[in-house]
Amino acid sequence: MPSTSPRLSLPYLQPAQAQKHVTHNEALQLLDAVVQLRVLAFGATEPPLARQPGDVWALGASPSGDWTGQAGQLALWDGTGWQFLAPRDGWIAWDASAQGLRAWTGGAWAPVAPALQNLPGLGIGTAPDAVNRLAVAADATLLSHDRAGHQLKINKAGATDTASLLFQSGWTGHAEMGLSGNLDFSVKVSDGQAWSTALTVARATGAVTLPKGAVVMGTLGGTAVQVSPTDATPGRLLSVGAFGLGGPLPPVANAAVTDGTLAPGLYAYDTAAGSTGGPAGVLRGTLLHTRRGAGAGETQLLVVEAGSTAGLYAGLVLGRARSGGAWSGWTCGSVQDSATGPNGRVVRHQDGTQTCWHTLSTSATAETVWTFPQPFASATGLAVTMGVNGAGLAPLFPRHTAKGTSSVALSVVDMGGTRVGASLDLVAIGRWH
């Protein structure tokens, strides 16, 4: 029968042993030391002077004094002397100094739970690696406040490095946001192969850039958009109705204001709705108001829709200008239409004047009819002037008859009243409305 136990080396009672209580008490003393083991210090090298029965020290590599030659042993003070125990793999001891558990493994005492500072890696539900030193496999991760707020900080070493959040699917990146290679905030997306920057925010100004454009499916609002079709705040986006886009034109009140308060743009001019300051006799129309700059010149064009007199026909364009003082009078002198054809050339002016030109040859046997390129509104006041081309020594006299709104009959006679053939230059001036 062996004299000690295989695990703790406790002395066995031997057959016919005298004073068996001594052996038994020794075994109890060892059990008292090893079970619920409490070590005052690890790596101890010099026996302490202050000691109590049951105190245990874990000896270092080169102990001295009474501990000489007991490297790596547990030194137990039993009240009268030292006992030494060799730790076995798996023994657990409480470190009274560091207030933590240690285990004997691989010939040394190692912390049961490693210190939670400067860990080489930490995995929760998964294993970390050299790049991902903190790895978490879970349905969700909660980072909550300890008092009031909470910040998640991602710091990078230099401006050209990256500090970002990367979103992956099947370990392939598809979205990234943060400081990617510079100090401007950006949002990028990927189809799994190529990356595209969707948004950047300049760190110096806060200006947002959308390199790929934007598609807005809802309504835009805020101070970046007009509050009304006549809102002329610089930098704001046009809203529906501004300049007639998608809605009716905003009505103008007094078009003749001279203090520069009328915002440039298109307006509806309607006297029945309270519009004033337009051309006399104009009932309705479209007003274009422009300004060169603050305190600079202003101009207005008005396209007539309806007027109270015959001359103010639909489509007539009237204009005026102002440069620091009162508005000029409304003018109408633009060409409405012009054309050239086999019957000559015609020009129609917006004020109703029509001029026709032509050159033709008369007959010696009958009157020649000139059909105007465009008819006149009335023969009353219609003036037809004629000049003979290439006349000889004998005087010739052109004349016309049967003057109407669409044609005039012409002939040339000599001094004896005999009709002759000649070339005539013709001009007819009248009104087309």
Rounded to whole angstroms, the Cα distance separating 26 from 74 reads 16
pLDDT band at 2 (very low <50, low <70, confident <90, very high): low
Task: Give the C-alpha separation, 37 to 91, whole Å.
Answer: 9
pLDDT at 5 > cutoff 50: no
| Predicted local confidence at residue 68, as pLDDT | 96
Closest by CA position to 71, among listed 43, 33, 103: 43
Exposure string (b/e) for 208-233, b if CB count within 10 Å is 16 or more?
A: eeeeeeeeeeeeeeeeeebeebeeee
- Mean pLDDT, the chain, rounded, equals 88
Residue 4 has what DSSP assignment?
B
Give 301-345 pLDDT, tens digit per residue.
999 999 998 778 898 889 999 987 899 999 887 787 889 999 999
Q: In the chain, where does the domain assigned CATH 2.60.40.3940 lie?
A: 337-431
Q: Would you identify the CATH topology of the domain 337-431?
A: Immunoglobulin-like (2.60.40)
For residue 298, the tally of other CB atoms under 10 A from its CB is 20
Q: Per the structure block, which two tokens stand in for 419?
A: 């009709």
Place of tokens 């406790």: 10
Looking at residue 141, what DSSP letter applies? -
Q: How far is CA 133 from CA 129, 136, 140, in A?
A: 5, 10, 19
Vertex 240 angle, CA 279 and 276, to 5°:
15
**pLDDT at position 22 over 60:** no
Tokens of 198: 């969707």
Number of neighbouring beta carbons within 10 Å of residue 404: 15
The pLDDT of residue 381 is: 94
Q: Rounded to an integer, what is the distance from CA 209 to the centroid of its chain?
A: 5
Distances in whole angstroms, Cα of residue 343 to Cα of each of 19, 359, 382, 426: 156, 9, 17, 11
pLDDT at 149 over 70: yes
Query: Minimum mean pLDDT among 57-61, 110-114, 250-254, 366-370: which range?
Result: 110-114
Higher pLDDT, 241 or 256: 256
List all residues 6 or more positions away from 341 whose beta carbon is below 8 Å from its beta carbon.
373
- Give percent of the chain above pLDDT 70: 91
The residue ranking higher by pLDDT, 408 or 235, is 408
How far is Cα 113 from Cα 100, in angstroms, rounded to an integer?
8
